[in-house]
Structure 1
Amino acid sequence: MLNNEATGFAAGPPQGKTRPLGGQRPAQRRSVGATLPRDTRDTLFLLAVIGWVAFMQVGHTPWWCTALTAGVLVWRTTLALRGLPLPGWPVRVGLLGITLAATFFTHSTLLGRDAGVTLIVVLLALKTLEMRARRDAFVVFFLAFFTLLTHFFYSQSLLTAAGILIALLGLLTALVNAHMPVGRPPLSQAARIAGGMALMGAPIMLVLFLLFPRLSPLWGVPGQDETGRSGLSGSMKVGQIAQLVLDDSIAFRIRFEDRPPPQAQLYFRGPVLSSFDGSEWRVLRSGFPQSMALPADLQVSGPPVRYDVTMEPNRRPWLFVMESTPQAPEVPDNAVRMSNELQWFTQRPLNTLVRYSAESYPTFRHGPQTQVVGLQDQIELPAGFNPRTLTLAQELRREHGAGPESNPKLIEAAMNRLRTGGYTYTLEPGVFGPNTADEFWFDKRQGFCEHIASSFVILMRALDIPARIVTGYQGGELNGVDGYWTVRQRDAHAWTEVWLQGQGWVRVDPTSAVAPGRVGSIQRLRAPQGALAGAIGNFNPNIAAQLRAAWEAMNNSWNQWVLNYTQGRQLDLLKNLGFNSPSWTDLAYVLIGVVVFVSLIGAGWTLWERQQHDPWLRLLQRARARLHKLGVDSADHTPPRELARRVQQRWGHAGAAAPLAQWLLQLEAQRYARPGAGNATLASLQREFQRLAWPKSPDT
């Protein structure tokens, strides 16, 4: 337990005994917290808050970190409840050594974000084992405050902010309680004071949020192992995932200016994969000569679709826009460029939430219209793989002919095979062998989009038709609460592009032949819900959908107004305030002006509060100050009756002393005498105070 006299925690009665307090209920009816000594109660509350701070990091720290932290906190709780001494330094040093070794073994370093967060969570718990003095308690408080900041390394969502707010109020309550060493104040009183402090600081926080120069955040988004989980990466391994787990997290949100296009046209382009080694598709090898690169030759037609995208951090320099977007999206504070494959890149990875505007044309054509040198890379296949698929290609050639004019017929024949050959779209295709296309076309006849797209491209290349895989996102769903389209990681998709003479690259989505609902408005495959969401959904699917839409709309508002409050939006705020061409200098002037204005308001409030102070006490203080100059000293708690006695003792009952003593007695009667006794009013006493003839000091 804490040494209360050293820490400032009020000392309670000895453990196991109770101290009678006036007006309390009998001991058997009091709560458990009321029967504990003050220091034990305060320690348990602080441990509970620390447990909440550590619990929020469970998903981001190794399992042993969670187990060790929980074990230490449970041990510290037991010591506090039983009044046992804290462990000595050998035990603490041993636990510290175990923590350092386990951290190094897990992260291969003691530096960096992940290793640092692991260390600080465990060290926060270990610090409670030496919380003996006031200094130790304050170290724990502020170490916990610092640990709160590390949660933003991993998420800045509304749920994370709510959890941090709860922890912040808990720590403020514990800190306020530590500064109330006298008696046994209830924790609810400390909580009210902490809440009031937070409310008083809220306006300052709001002003700083709006006007303080925006800097890039000091945190990023952690790496995550996405193996076996839906989503997007820079390469695609085929056949090595036995079961795909749908990731229901949000990739980005879209707000269309006008009516959105049909859902089947919502293709958001990502990496284009052209290089295949038999098991993995990658972006075309680096160092490819620029003279042999396929030109984009993008041509658009028809009316454009204008929209805003709010994209979650993806740790990649990828911008997702609808096919196809000829003009650079407007990304704040980040230069963008388009590759020859029509993929848009940013200057640096997107580690924070970003919002940008784009203009896309659903009707477009791109790529060379005639044979060029670079097209041979789009028909290459590794030797020794998928012999049955190669044989199938020969059969299709014999049936539909050879030459560029037969390519559309061959593509349609492959699509028709997918429609009528008993192929299915599934999240559990099982593990494929080295000949993934053979197994898909002839054996398993099932898979998800990557199997279908890969097998289709291999067949096209076997037919000498240039083909490649395009990855990105397809579809989405409309949130009826805020009007945004939500695209999730489970909407990650792979489709293909084939090259045709005179047309260039043409999108062909073979998954639409196997599962039309995957690219249409039909019900899609969904991630399994949690127990609570599943129970609500089984009881009433509409309620579950409405609750989810409302929650995501709240998160979206948080993203739009808080996380996406960028430097550009700061300057836009100045434009709304009347600045024609706002700059950082103008922002500094506005911030200084607000500080001065708030300071003047504070000074005015102080002056008003001073005037509203008890006028009777002010009048007594004036009389006490005047008497002090005449040599009659008194304390702040000296009543007027005692002042009158001292006046008479010093100057007697004659002369100016008599009216002064009588005035002091009237002042006391005005405050404490029974109403209706003919006492003088405070106003009359104030006027009489101005007319009093004060005795002279003996020195004058």
Structure 2
Amino acid sequence: MNLAGRLARLPREARDTLFLLAVVACCIAPLAAHIPPWASAMAATLLAWRGWLAGSGRPLPARWIMAVLLVLAVLLTLVSHRTIVGRDAGVTLIVMLLALKTLELRARRDAMVVFFLGFFTLLANFFFSQSLPTAAAMLVALLGLLTALVNAHMPVGRPPLALAMRTAGRMALLGAPIMVLLFVLFPRMAPLWGMPADKPGARSGLSGQMRIGSMASLVLDDSVALRVRFDTPGGEPPPPGQLYFRGPVLTAFDGRDWFALSQPEAQAITWARPSPAQLRVQGPPLRYELTLEPHQRPWLLTLDAAKAAPALPPGQWAQMSPELQWNASRPVTGVLRYRAESHLRFTHGPLRRTPEMRAYVQLPAGLNPRTLALARQMQADRQLAGGGTQALVDAALQRLRSGGYHYTLDPGVYGDEHTADEFWFDRKEGFCEHIASAFVVLMRAMDVPARIVTGYQGGELNAIDGYWTVRQSDAHAWTEVWMEGRGWVRVDPTGAVSPGRIGQLQRLQARRGVFGTAVGAVVSPMLLQDLRAVWEAVNNGWNQWVLNYTQGRQLDLLRSLGLQSPGWQDLVRLMGLLVCAAAVIGLGWALWERRRQDPWQRLLQQARQRLARAGLPLPPHLPPRSMAAQARARLGPSAEDAAQWLLRLEQARYAPRPAAALPRLRRELARLRWPAAQSRGTDTP
């Protein structure tokens, strides 16, 4: 016998319990990545145990066993989180309580507790992710919980789950307009909106520290880092060579790792503080809207260079660092949308050399001796010495162009000390951080202030929604060199090795595995690319219209309705008016429907619904006499009063004055003792 046949032959209590356990598993499963492994394993074991008890008809565990399991769950939560307060610890406890409560399903009140714990667990998923897949999964779990809840209110007989599911779906559809209304108008006031994480973990490919060889692995991460929409005709971006989204600036170097001056590790390497940004811009600004994915850092990515602070949502503010990097007042823990404007023609930094510049020429002692010798050789060249810093930079770039150097994802493992020597003289190949690091070391060896800038370079247009998508695989490292009278000047040595990387946005592709090769042989790469574009456009729409529906957009809605200076009080008034209007419309529709429908047919429909709740669903075409016969045959003597009432209803239909008997029949229907009212002693979940 197949699985469907076995489920059909189970007693109703076992069937309903197994269905409820499946719904509970759907609510808990997405949380497995955010709770301790022991919690996931324990919850799965408890649910499987409860399912085995239901399927085999065995009794539930004793109270003392439940008490021991509860104490064990609390102790393990304390060990894992050092507390039982907070988001992570609280969610772990909720999952454990929900799983344990399924072992106490003895009466309907226990089922109700499971339902409400299930709803809370469902909402807890949004503490960790508010993405579109999470919302879709929770919608399925919500319909499952509603189905189980409706089914629990059909205690007699064996109503099919499909009937409860249809009722639950109809309830969800009727509640959808109210949900949309509350979403649009309910005031978004702190601290209701935005729950900070207890232990934020960085997701971004960028960091305040860069190890030589670490960025090459980011090309394997094709996830979205940010999306940009430019305020230009057709949404066209600037030339590809100017698509530099500025991130952390790295100055201190220990031979293997680069650090930002704000990092504690940098304090042991250099003593200087960065000089002020001193940004000077030319020409009109380029305006754009940027949607930044959460990366648990305060960094705000902007095109080089943004003079004015990005326009953040209410309650947040931004500040520029001395290295020309914008930082938010708090880490970016959710999808963040902001507007910014950048000047693509700019200069920054001091025009004359200052004592703070010593931090940008420091190198670890005793490392990269061949690079230092090359620097002395270049400085001794009279032709180069006469051309100043620009000539030295051009000579280094020419060496990269003509010296047999290669841009690659797999340059091999560099050593821990002489990384610049290995690049310039041995391997002659590397990814962007190898090239940038070796270039800065060479510049500093010639007493030229230089530093590394990390961020993203390039992007691709999604033709579906018109947004430019920048991925983690677009992470890039370039350099800035200080020149007398000009300040800091961007120099991207990767462009000298691989001009297509910067000018034509050509990316290195990682080698495909066996599975990727097989999929590429069966499915067209263009089809996969189109499907990805559609999915990312849909996901971006979710980010723009749902996750980023902020208080500012609410107030913009009120302004479009004619209010001059709207506030949250106006939102409450408008929401109240719309709710009252909806109630009046619903009342009017009910009255109209009541008058439109045949009163005799309405009484017959009410009787059919009562019989369905009693465990006797009947097709709508049966007349009252046939319904009475079915009730007597299947419900026994307890349905005699209902059968007699159905016969009187049929008699009234054919009486000389049928309307005169309907009020009496309506009163009898209200007082009638139906079989469902006599059989409510059975408690099933």
- Normalised by the length of structure 1, the TM-score is 0.79
Aligned residues of 1:317 and 1:345 also touching (Cα < 8 A): yes
Match of 1:274 among 224, 247, 251: 251
In 2, the alpha carbon distance for the partners of 1:400 and 1:163 equals 69
Alignment of 1:567 with 2:551, yes or no, is yes
Q: Structure 1 stretches of 5 or more lacking a match?
A: 1-26, 621-638, 640-666, 674-678, 687-700
Deviation at 1:440, TM superposition (A): 2.9
Distance 1:52 1:670 in 2: 52
CA contact (8 A) 1:230 1:247 kept: no
Quick check: 1:131 aligned with 2:105? yes
Q: CA deviation at 1:281?
A: 2.2
Q: Trace 1:576-655 onto structure 2 (pairs within 5 A).
A: 576-612=560-596, 614-616=598-600
**Which one of the candidate residues 39, 48, 51 is aligned to 2:25?**
51
Per the alignment, do residues 468 and 34 of structure 1 end up closer, same or farther by CA in structure 2, a change over 3 Å counting?
A: same
CA distance in 2, matches of 1:61, 1:104: 13
SS of the counterpart of 2:388? helix
Structure 1 SS opposite 2:331: coil
Question: What's 2:627 paired with?
Answer: none
Letter of the 1:317 counterpart: P
Matched, 1:406 2:408: no
Distance 1:568 1:342, change over 3 A: same
Whose radius of gyration is greater, 1 or 2? Answer: 1
Q: CA deviation at 1:523?
A: 3.8
One-letter amino acid of the structure 2 residue matched with residue 602 of structure 1: G
Give the structure 2 partner of residue 6 of structure 1. Answer: none
Note the C-alpha offset of 1:350: 2.3
Contact 2:256 2:416 in 1 (8 A): no
Deviation at 1:401, TM superposition (A): 6.0
Partner residue, 1:331: 312
Give the 3 Å change call, closer, same or farther, for CA 299–66 of structure 1 in structure 2. Answer: same
Question: Which shifted more, 123-132 or 504-513?
Answer: 123-132
Conserved 8 A contact 1:255-1:309: yes
* 1:425 maps to 2:402: no
Secondary structure of the equivalent of 1:432? coil
Q: Which moved more, 1:177-186 or 1:244-253?
A: 244-253
Gaps of 5+ in 2: 605-623, 625-647, 663-685
Q: Does 2:469 match 1:495?
A: no
Change (3 A) 1:112 1:521: farther
Q: How much has 1:299 moved relative to structure 2?
A: 2.2
Cα deviation, residue 64, structure 1 = 3.2
Contact 2:384–2:391 (CA under 8 A) maintained in structure 1: no
Q: What is the Cα deviation at residue 459 of structure 1?
A: 1.6
- 2:189 aligned counterpart, secondary structure: coil
Shift in Å, 1:307: 1.2
Q: Displacement, 1:338? A: 1.9
Amino acid at match of 2:508: L
C-alpha spacing 1:616/1:81, structure 2 compared with 1 (3 Å): closer
Match of 1:349 in 2: 331
1:243/1:427 contact within 8 Å kept? no
Cross-structure match for 1:22: none
Partner of 1:322: 303
Aligned residue identity for 1:399: D
Query: What is residue 443 of structure 1 aligned with on the other side?
Result: 426
Per residue, is there more helix in 1 or in 2?
Answer: 2
The 8 Å contact of residues 227 and 470 in structure 2, kept in 1 or not, is answered as: yes
CA contact (8 A) 2:459 2:505 kept: no
Aligned-pair CA distance for 1:428 = 6.3
2:277 and 2:413 map into 1 onto residues whose CA distance is 38
User: Following TM superposition, by how much is the alpha carbon of 1:488 offset from its aligned partner in structure 2, in angstroms?
Assistant: 1.4
Matched, 1:548 2:532: yes
**Partner Cα separation in structure 2 for residue 351 and residue 463 of structure 1:** 42
8 A contact 1:425–1:448 mirrored in 2: yes
Does the alignment pair 1:474 with 2:457? yes
Q: Distance in 1 between matches of 2:351 and 2:483?
A: 8
Aligned-partner residue type, residue 318 of structure 1: W
Check if 1:301 corresponds to 2:282: yes
The answer to whether residue 345 in structure 2 is matched with residue 371 in structure 1 is: no
Relative distance call for 1:220 and 1:33 in structure 2 (3 A) is same
Residue 9 (structure 1) aligns with = none
Letter in structure 2 aligned against 1:67: A
Displacement of 1:684 in angstroms is: 9.7
User: How far has the Cα of 1:549 moved from its partner?
Assistant: 0.4
Distance 1:618 1:65 in 2: 52
CA deviations on 1:242-273 (whole Å, 9 max, x unpaired) are 95563222121111122211223210111212
Shift of 1:215: 2.8
Give the match for residue 607 of structure 2: none
Aligned runs of 1:497-536 on 2, under 5 Å? 497-526=480-509
For residue 81 of structure 1, the aligned residue among 32, 39, 55 is: 55
Distance 1:339 1:251, change over 3 A: same
* Percent of aligned pairs with the same amino acid: 55
Q: Distance in 1 between matches of 2:263 and 2:99?
A: 48
- Deviation at residue 101 of structure 1 after TM alignment: 4.7
Alignment of 1:62 onto 2:33: no
Counterpart residue number, 1:692: none
- Once residues 30 and 471 of structure 1 are traced to their aligned partners in structure 2, the CA distance between those partners, rounded to angstroms, is 57
**How far apart in 1 are the matches of 2:579 and 2:429?**
66
- For residues 251-290 of structure 1, the aligned pairs below 5 Å read 251-258=225-232, 259-285=236-262
- Whether the 8 Å contact between 2:312 and 2:338 is mirrored in structure 1 is yes
The match for 2:292 is 311
User: Quick check: 1:393 aligned with 2:393?
Assistant: no
The 1:243–1:532 alpha-carbon spacing in structure 2 relative to 1, beyond 3 Å, is closer
Letter in 1 for 2:524: N
Q: Which has the higher contact order (CA 8 A, sep 6+)?
A: 2
Indicate if the aligned counterparts of 2:375 and 2:442 stay in contact, CA closer than 8 A: yes
Instruction: Quote the Cα distance in structure 2 between the aligned partners of 1:269 and 1:457.
Output: 18
- TM-score w.r.t. the length of structure 2 is 0.81
Residue 454 to residue 418, structure 1, CA distance change in 2 (3 Å) = same
Distance 1:55 1:71 in 2: 13
Distance 1:669 1:415, change over 3 A: closer
Q: Partner of 1:236 in structure 2? A: 210
The whole-number CA distance in structure 2 between the counterparts of 1:680 and 1:531 is 83
Q: CA RMSD in A?
A: 3.3
Deviations 1:420-459 (A, max 9, x none): 2333321564353133323333334333222322222122
In structure 1, distance between residues paired with 2:6 and 2:592: 45
Give, as a single letter, the amino acid of the residue that structure 2 aligns with 1:300.
Answer: V
* Corresponding residue pairs, total: 608
Q: CA deviation at 1:214?
A: 0.9
**Could you say if the C-alpha distance between residues 408 and 615 of structure 1 is closer, same or farther in structure 2, counting changes exceeding 3 Å?**
same
Q: How far does residue 473 in structure 1 lie from its aligned partner after superposition?
A: 1.1
Deviation digits for residues 493-532 of structure 1 (CA, Å, limit 9, x no counterpart): 2111001112211111122223333324354135788998
Show the counterpart of 2:609. Answer: none
Alpha-carbon distance change, 449 to 107 in structure 1, aligned in 2, over 3 angstroms:
farther
- Given the alignment, which residue of 441, 451, 454 partners 2:437? 454
Cα deviation code 1:648-691 (max 9, x no counterpart):
xxxxxxxxxxxxxxxxxxx9787443xxxxx64657999xxxxx
CA distance in 2, matches of 1:33, 1:529: 44
Separation of aligned partners in 2, 1:588 and 1:501: 60
Structure 2 equivalent of residue 154 of structure 1: 128
Amino acid at match of 1:274: T
Instruction: Tell me the distance in 2 between the aligned counterparts of 1:294 and 1:324.
Output: 17
Q: Aligned equivalents of 2:349 and 2:7: distance in 1?
A: 74
Cα deviation per residue 1:3-59 (whole Å; 9 max; x = unaligned)?
Answer: xxxxxxxxxxxxxxxxxxxxxxxx999733211110111111111111112221233
CA pair 207-618 structure 1, distance change in 2 beyond 3 A: closer
Distance 1:223 1:458, change over 3 A: farther
Aligned-pair CA distance for 1:607: 2.9
Q: Which of 535, 542, 549 is matched with 1:558 structurally?
A: 542
Counterpart Cα distance in 2 of 1:312 and 1:84: 50
**Aligned partner of 1:329: which letter?**
P
Give 1:480 deviation, angstroms: 1.0
